[in-house]
């Protein structure tokens, strides 16, 4: 694989990670099984990740999660001088005046190389990204095996979509750079220490900013995540007022992902039973001395994939 193509791929992945705002739908109350599932879809679509957590965890569990997040953040090792320098340089390049033109000029040789070697390099690049995504899902704490399987399917669909997307197109590259720079300016983070010092509320706000940037970026290449969330179909399969089962069909890149979600009623609110059980099992392991995840991974409910965020965090 040509080194310049590899650098382009990892640069593109980094821009995705960085990753405005249209009128948002309002999530329904989670007082019915379908309402609970729809609320998770809407909250994910809107980038309201704290609201998503509040909706998917009972109050006591949510408070425990918040306390764990704060503790995990204090245990992070300080960044190295090299990490500080690299972060500052990246943010400076993305936010300086005229950044869009400078970055596009730097990217042109890599775009030309990608066009010349697309059939040779792109499949390998997508395979690397797919493997990385699957690894994140496999190691995601607090997810049931069914949810991990669903997320893995979403990653496969996204990989298939990426094979047909024209990432070497100059006009689309210009639009992508504009979105990335705009998102970086909205984040307004100049140093890594500044990013590490963000409060929980500020972190969630930045996740939302990055999520909007990511959705705009993917739409440039034909992947409309808002449409996927908005057009999801739900069907209640069973409901005895204590336990329920809802079938969700979420179409991603033209391919339906069908899942059946078990829900449990607690204090007038329906919760994803498998998600809640997995979370509580994780808490039980932590209480017995298992290592807690780092703050930056614990605090990212949508960190695996867009489809997974909307369909597994119920």
DSSP assignment of the chain equals --HHHHHHHHHHHHHHHH---PPPPPPPPTTSHHHHHHHHHHHHHTT-HHHHHHHHS-HHHHHHHHHHHHHHHHTSPPPPHHHHHHHHHHHHHHHSTTHHHHHHHHHHHHHHHHHHTHHHHHHHHHHHHHHHHHHHHHT-TT--HHHHHHHHHHHHHHHHHHHHS-TT-HHHHHHHHHHHHHHHHHHT--SHHHHHT--HHHHHHHHHHHHHHHHHHHHHTT--HHHHHHT-EEEEEEE-SSEEEEEEEEEETTEEEEEEEEEEEETTEEEEHHHHHHHHHHHHHHHTTPPPPPHHHHT-TT-S-HHHHHHH--
Domain ranges of the chain: 3-312
149 or 169: which carries more pLDDT confidence? 169
What's the average model confidence in pLDDT over 106-124? 88
148 or 314: which carries more pLDDT confidence? 148
Q: What is the mean pLDDT of the chain?
A: 85
Percent of the chain with pLDDT over 70: 84
What's the average model confidence in pLDDT over 153-173? 93
Q: Band of the pLDDT at 297, cuts 50, 70, 90?
A: very low
155 or 294: which carries more pLDDT confidence? 155
């Amino acid at each position: 694989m040509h080194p310049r193509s590899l650098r382009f791929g990892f640069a593109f992945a980094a821009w995705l990670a960085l990753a405005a705002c249209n009128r948002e739908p309002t999530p329904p109350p989670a007082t019915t099984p379908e309402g609970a599932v729809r609320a998770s879809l809407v909250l994910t679509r809107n980038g309201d990740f704290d609201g998503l957590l509040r909706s998917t965890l009972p109050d006591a569990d949510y408070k425990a999660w918040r306390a764990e997040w704060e503790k995990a953040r204090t245990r992070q090792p300080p960044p190295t001088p090299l990490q500080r320098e690299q972060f500052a340089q990246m943010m400076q390049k993305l936010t300086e005046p005229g950044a869009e033109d400078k970055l596009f000029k730097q990217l042109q040789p890599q775009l030309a190389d990608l066009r010349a070697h697309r059939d040779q390099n792109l499949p390998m690049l997508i395979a690397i990204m797919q493997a990385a995504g699957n690894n994140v899902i496999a190691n995601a704490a607090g997810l049931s095996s069914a949810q991990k399987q669903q997320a893995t399917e979403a990653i496969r669909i996204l990989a298939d979509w990426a094979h047909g997307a024209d990432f070497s197109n100059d006009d689309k590259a210009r639009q992508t750079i504009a979105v990335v720079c705009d998102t970086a300016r909205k984040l307004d983070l100049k140093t890594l220490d500044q990013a590490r010092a963000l409060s929980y509320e500020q972190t969630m706000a930045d996740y939302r900013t990055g999520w909007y940037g990511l959705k705009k970026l993917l739409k440039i290449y034909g992947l409309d995540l808002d449409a996927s969330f908005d057009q999801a179909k739900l069907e209640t399969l069973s409901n005895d007022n204590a336990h329920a089962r809802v079938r969700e069909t979420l179409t991603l890149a033209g391919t339906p992902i069908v899942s059946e979600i078990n829900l449990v009623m607690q204090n007038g609110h329906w919760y994803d039973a498998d998600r809640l059980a997995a979370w509580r099992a994780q808490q039980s392991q932590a209480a017995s001395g298992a290592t807690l995840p780092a703050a930056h991974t614990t605090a990212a409910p949508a960190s695996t994939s867009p489809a997974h965020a909307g369909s597994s965090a119920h």
